[in-house]
Amino acid sequence: MNSAAEKSGAENDNPAALKRVRRIEPMDRERVLDAAAKLFREQGFEKTTLKEIAQACDMLPGSLHYRYPSKESLLIDMMRLGMSRIMSAAVGVDDPVEQVRRVLLAHLKIVVTGSDTVYVLLFDWRSLKGHARDELITLRDAYESQWMKLLKHLRKQGLVRADIDLHLLRLIALGAINWVSTWYSAGGRYSLDDIGNFIWQITRDAVLTPEARANYLARHSDGVSTA
């Protein structure tokens, strides 16, 4: 094995290297991650090279490698960015029911508008091995924990029906939303707002206690917040 291959292999199985994503401007970060996701989906994670990703971003391979030491670090940063975008939807919102609604719709938006990235995160993560796989699973678990924190807060406030299994609710709700990416079509029969409002309405009506639902509807006369 040549020295370059040895270096790449060492970085791919080095937990410190996976986390060593050097500072990159937000617009450049999104451009790089979007380009990487597109290539991963078209060619497969294993067949895509950092050089091809750099070319797609109009960057020198060395510049890309400086920021992302491996393909695995790109995949992991996709997860970090997606989590940040979704959970930021609840920032500054005091109403725990509205927090869940906003995060739910943010997850839907990411699933639909970031189709390449979501596809890669849903399916190509299985291509990871060793520390890279462990790191992505850790991030996924952290994301799921944030969802459980929101749901448990609803229960603590007495807003969720006692017979609702929160763990099962999270699994089924996120699974259903993720599946939207496989059939949604811009300009199709249903708009993103149509889908989001429907998902929220059936979730709200099935999960909240009658009193919590009535209070929410009183605050939002159309049954769906406009924020």
The answer on 120 and 36 residing in a single domain is no
Helix residue ranges per DSSP H, the chain: 3-12, 15-19, 26-43, 50-56, 61-67, 71-87, 96-113, 115-123, 130-156, 166-180, 192-207, 210-219
- Least confident residue range of 53-57, 129-133, 190-194: 129-133
Q: Quick check: is 224 in a domain?
A: no
Q: Please tell me the distance from the alpha carbon of residue 21 to that of residue 116, in angstroms, as a whole number.
A: 21
What confidence tier does 3 reach under pLDDT thresholds 50, 70, 90?
very low
Last-in-domain residue among 23, 56, 71: 71
Q: Coil, strand or helix: which one is 40?
A: helix
Q: Residue 43: which CATH number?
A: 1.10.10.60
Residues 93 and 20 in one domain: no
What pLDDT is stored for residue 30 in this prediction?
Answer: 87
- SS3 (DSSP) at 208: strand
Does pLDDT of 24 surpass 90? Answer: no
Q: Residue 43: which domain range? A: 3-71
CA–CA gap between residue 224 and residue 5 (Å, rounded):
54
Same domain assignment for residues 96 and 17:
no
The pLDDT of residue 14 is 54
What CATH number is attached to the domain comprising 175? 1.10.357.10
pLDDT for 201: 95
What would the two tokens of residue 69 be? 């030491």
Number of compact structural domains in the chain: 2
pLDDT (average), residues 6-27 = 51
pLDDT above 70: residue 6:
no
Mean pLDDT, the chain, as a whole number?
Answer: 84
pLDDT tens by residue, 62-76? 999 888 998 889 988
Clarify whether residues 102 and 198 are in a common domain. yes
Q: Same domain for 129 and 169?
A: yes
Calpha distance 32→74 (Å, rounded): 9
Q: Are residues 203 and 161 in the same domain?
A: yes
- Residues 63-122: tens digit of each pLDDT: 998 889 988 899 889 888 888 888 999 899 999 999 999 999 999 998 888 767 777 777
**1 confidence band (pLDDT: 50, 70, 90):** very low
Most confident by average pLDDT, 22-36, 176-190, 204-218? 204-218
